């Protein structure tokens, strides 16, 4: 289990003042690629001066990719983590590059033994460069690769056991996969090593033409909060963080979403 973080929100430059003045924010997360490795935005310096943990969250390491690990990106993440004195860093169980192309999206990794070997090797190499705990997040997908050899729970469990990494559990992504792929999120919660939980992501989305889109630009659905409750009935999460990336609502609406998350965690 990671260290105790509390309830947090994703820091974005568009809502920097909102995050600074909002009550009940215990920690924040920043997209590592949006931060310069040599200096921090003033708002993050303010939050760090208050003692709030600021966790860098990467989106471009492509740890599940078959191409050689881009160590420059890992070193950038390490430098940002050093700048923030971050207790841990994170990325995703995914790939974003293949054949010289960048997908622009987090792509699911085939749940095969071969893909697991690649992921384990890349995570092990990345951890050696980072020099601090690395948490990996389950992603939302609109498709699954055929011929899976492992369930998602078994895949994540073996990954954690073989690399000693932590898990960043995104209950909104689980909810999206339940809606779109028929995945069983409760079965996944039962199967993954929750003792390795770093923290939890919660986010909103919207259903369009029968497909649920994990937009991070809409209100958090009750189903996602219910799934957070399922997780909390199994383990007390070290931290729960609200992600919002677009169509930012009023400060009061964001504060209400944080309060709803805090109520689930405290129940």
pLDDT tens column, 50-79: 999 999 999 999 999 999 999 999 999 999
Residues 6 or more apart in contact with residue 237 via CB below 8 angstroms: 169, 197, 199, 200, 231, 265
Q: How far is residue 8 CA from its own chain's centroid?
A: 13
CA distances (Å), 61 to each of 64, 90, 102, 128, 169, in order? 9, 10, 11, 14, 18
* Whether pLDDT at 102 is above 80: no
Task: Extract the tokens encoding 127.
Answer: 């951890």
Rounded CA gap, 25 and 218, in Å? 20
pLDDT band at 146 (very low <50, low <70, confident <90, very high): confident
What share of the chain has pLDDT > 90, as a percent? 91
The answer to whether 2 and 239 have CB atoms below 8 angstroms apart is yes
Rounded mean pLDDT, 149-169 = 97
Rounded CA gap, 3 and 87, in Å? 8
Mean pLDDT of the chain: 95
The answer to whether 127 and 96 have CB atoms below 8 angstroms apart is no
pLDDT of residue 99: 67
CA distances (Å), 78 to each of 29, 127, 129, 153, in order? 15, 10, 7, 28
Rounded mean pLDDT, 113-130 = 98
pLDDT of residue 151: 95
Helix (H) or strand (E) holding 247: none
Rounded mean pLDDT, 106-114 = 94
pLDDT band at 239 (very low <50, low <70, confident <90, very high): very high
**Phi, psi (rounded to 5 degrees) for 241:** -125, 130
pLDDT of residue 1: 64
Rounded CA gap, 260 and 7, in Å? 11
- Of the listed ranges 87-101, 147-161, 229-243, the least confidently predicted one is 87-101
Task: Extract the tokens encoding 198.
Answer: 């770093």
Which neighbouring-strand residues pair with 7? 240
Rounded CA gap, 259 and 67, in Å? 43
Which neighbouring-strand residues pair with 89? 134
Interval 220-231: pLDDT, tens: 999 999 999 999
Half-sphere exposure of 144 (CA within 13 A, CB side): 16
pLDDT of residue 3: 75
pTM metric for this prediction: 0.96
* Whether pLDDT at 83 is above 60: yes
The answer to whether 131 and 78 have CB atoms below 8 angstroms apart is yes
3-state helix, strand, coil in the chain (%, to 5): 45, 20, 35
Rounded CA gap, 229 and 160, in Å? 23
Residue with the larger pLDDT of the pair 203 and 3:
203
């Amino acid at each position: 289990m990671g260290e105790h973080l509390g309830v947090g929100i994703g820091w974005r430059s568009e809502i920097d003042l909102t995050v600074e003045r909002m009550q009940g924010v215990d920690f924040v997360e920043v997209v590592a690629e949006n931060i310069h490795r040599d200096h921090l935005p003033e708002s993050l310096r303010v939050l760090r001066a208050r003692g709030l943990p600021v966790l860098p969250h990467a989106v471009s390491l492509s740890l599940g990719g078959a191409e050689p690990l881009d160590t420059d990106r890992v070193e950038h993440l390490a430098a940002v983590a050093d700048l923030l004195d971050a207790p841990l860093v994170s990325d995703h169980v995914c790939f974003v590059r293949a054949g010289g192309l960048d997908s622009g999206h987090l792509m699911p990794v085939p749940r095969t033994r071969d893909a697991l070997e690649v992921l384990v090797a890349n995570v092990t190499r990345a951890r050696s460069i980072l020099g601090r705990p690395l948490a990996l997040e389950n992603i939302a997908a609109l498709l699954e690769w055929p011929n899976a050899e492992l369930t998602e729970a078994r895949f994540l469990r073996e990954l954690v056991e073989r690399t000693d990494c932590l898990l960043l559990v995104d209950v909104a992504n689980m909810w999206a996969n339940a809606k779109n792929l028929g995945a069983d999120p409760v079965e996944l919660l039962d199967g993954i090593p929750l003792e390795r939980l770093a923290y939890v992501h919660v986010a909103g989305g919207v259903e369009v033409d029968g497909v649920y889109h994990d937009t991070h630009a809409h209100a958090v659905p009750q189903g996602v909060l219910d799934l957070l409750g399922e997780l909390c009935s199994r383990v007390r999460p070290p931290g729960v963080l609200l992600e919002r990336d677009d169509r930012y609502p009023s400060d009061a609406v964001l504060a209400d979403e944080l309060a709803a998350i805090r109520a689930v965690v405290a129940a």
